[in-house]
Structure formats: C-alpha cells, structure tokens
Amino acid sequence: MLRVATIVDSKRQNLLKAVKQRNTHTLALKKMDKIAHKFLHINGQKLHIAEIGSESSPAVIFLHGFPEIWYTWRHQMIAVANAGFRAIAPDFRGYGLSDPPAEPEKASFDDFVNDIASIVDSLSISKVFVIAKDFGTMVAYPFVLRYPQKIAGIITLNMAFMPPAAFKSHPLPEGFYVTRWREPGRAEADFSRFDVKTVVRNIYILFSQSEIPIANENEEIMDLVKPLTSLPSWLTEEDLAIYGDLYEKSGFRTALQIPYRSYMSLGYTDEVPKVEAPMMLILGEEDYALKVPGMLEYVKSGEVKKYIPNIETRYVPRGCHFVHEQFPDEVNQLILTFLDANKHLSKV
C-alpha cells in the first residue's frame, strides 16, 4: 500500500530542523529551506524523500551512496529545480530518516530496487531521469533494466555498469576496505572504537583521497586516518554534523549489509540485457575507484559499451570520489546539459 505520511515523529522533525538551520554557510544553500520533506509508506517501510520543483516538471531521482544520504545531492537538487526539473532524493531504507528493515542483515539490493520503483509509482511519475553514485548505481542499473519504459535517461558518478564477470581476473587485496567490511563483525568492531561522527569523518577523508583505502594486516580501516586529519576543504563541519546526526539515527547495520555484504544478491547473469537509454558517466580524475583493478581499463577500452551502447563519459579534472560535492558547478553543468538534450524523452 502506498500513502504519504502526514505526521512526522518528533525525532525526525528535529533532525530536519537541524538540516535547515545548519545550512546557511553558502548563498546557494540558503535555498535549502525550499526543499520539501515527506514520508511514503512503501513496501512495509516508511521512506523519507526530499524534493524540490514543480510536480508537472520532468522528474529526476537521485540515488545516494555510502556514507551518504539524500543530503549529498543538495547542490544538484537546487540546480535542476532552478532549471525547470523536479528533483527527488530518497534515503534508502535503513539510511538517513527512512525506517530500517526489520532484519537489516537480510536486506537485499532487490529491496532497494523495488522501493525506488514504488516511489516513482507513488508519485505518479511516468518517466524519470535517474542520477546515481557509488553503490546507488547498483540500484540504478537493475531499476533501469527492469523498467526501461520508465526511463528518460541515466547519469552515474564514479561507477560504470559492471557485470559480475568483469573483474573476476582482478582479485581484491585482503586489506581493501570492501574486503574487510564484507566480513561480519569486522567493521562493527572497528567502528565501535569511535563515535558515529568520527566514523563518518574518517570515511569521507579516506574516500576523498586518490589512493584505494587498503589496511595492513595489523591495522583496521579506521586506523588509516591519522588523528587531527582535516576534512576536505569542500566539506564543512556543518555538513559533517548533518551526516553524523543522521547516521546516529540510522546506525550502520543496513549500510554494511547494502552494499558491502550483498554484492552477490544483485541477481545479474553474464548475459545482461543492454541499457538502451542515453547515459552519461561522470568520473573524477582523482577518484580512488579508478584504481580498483580493471576499472579504468574497462571504461577506456570501450568494453562498457557492450552493455550500454549510448554511453558518454566525462572526466572532471582533480575530481575525487565525491566530485559532485567537491565541484558542484562543473558537475551541475554536465548534468543540466544532459537533461536538456534528452528532455524530450521524459514525455510519455
């Protein structure tokens, strides 16, 4: 059953107020108070969405990664709304202000894909542009493949579509953060040594660097960040406080399950149908993800076009894993150019 929640509990209200009050550090983000928040009862969950723009405008849905929530798209939401689009950014179940699954350890990518499909239906959106980053792309691609009739176009940041066999010849190191966090209990023990805000801070610092986070045998992933290391210049303490507040609310149980312990639940076969919709891949040139064995070769060789023939790739100089937060103006321009060029496809 789909319905909009009209009553928001006091804890959620307080968190939303904190978001609006803290975001006065730039002129652009003074429009944050125009972003509306609502809760949808979908698939047995209360899911939070942030949105801005007219309901009659072409719709764009933004899918976050980790350690993010809807807020990571704040710059892009305002930009696309100003350009005449409707921006919608959900928190995945178990993230941000959305309810957690009853049993987070049993959550799957299918749950997330079904949630996005239900959100689109509940908002009476016939066709939608999908913009995703990090593991959000692993939700976006199955959604696009299952519901091609709903898709006007797709933009992904820092991850191209990867079939399961793409990197079988490139095993990941034991100390690679993904390998470590897949291990039940390993990340929980590592994170428990710090408060939630420090965990989020450390992950943002690690993921902003150009090298893959790999720990030695005698250290954990959190140990890779030295005490007193500064935040990236484009992330303020106010931003960090918002992420910290929301992860205090949600915890990391679902975040560790999806994506790190659920890659095998993606449900792809080696014969993956092609994505025929127009697509743009935006990559920061200094994103550590490009150093994952096989990744850059896969993109530059054109192998990705076996699966997405209509893909165009754009590189952002000096861009890191969070290129959309680091260089919002450059990324927004790429996004708006793509949306404008394909706006006609949003019409039914």
- Residue 134 designated active-site: yes
- From 204, 260, 288, 298, the catalytic residue: 260
Contact (CB, 8 A) for 86 and 51? yes
- From 134, 190, 245, 287, the catalytic residue: 134
Q: Of the candidates 311, 314, 312, which has an alpha carbon nearest to the alpha carbon of residue 274?
A: 311
- Residue 48 designated active-site: no
Interior angle at CA 190, CA 186 and CA 196, nearest 5: 125
One-letter amino acid for residue 119 of the chain:
I
Structure-block tokens of residue 104 = 């987070």
Q: Tell me 223's DSSP state.
A: G
CA 233 to chain centre: 21
Q: Of the candidates 178, 135, 129, which has an alpha carbon nearest to the alpha carbon of residue 157?
A: 135
- Residue 321 designated active-site: yes
- From 48, 64, 321, 324, the catalytic residue: 321
First to last CA, the chain: 25
Contact (CB, 8 A) for 111 and 257? no
Structure-block tokens of residue 277 = 């919709």
The residues that are catalytic are 134, 260, 321
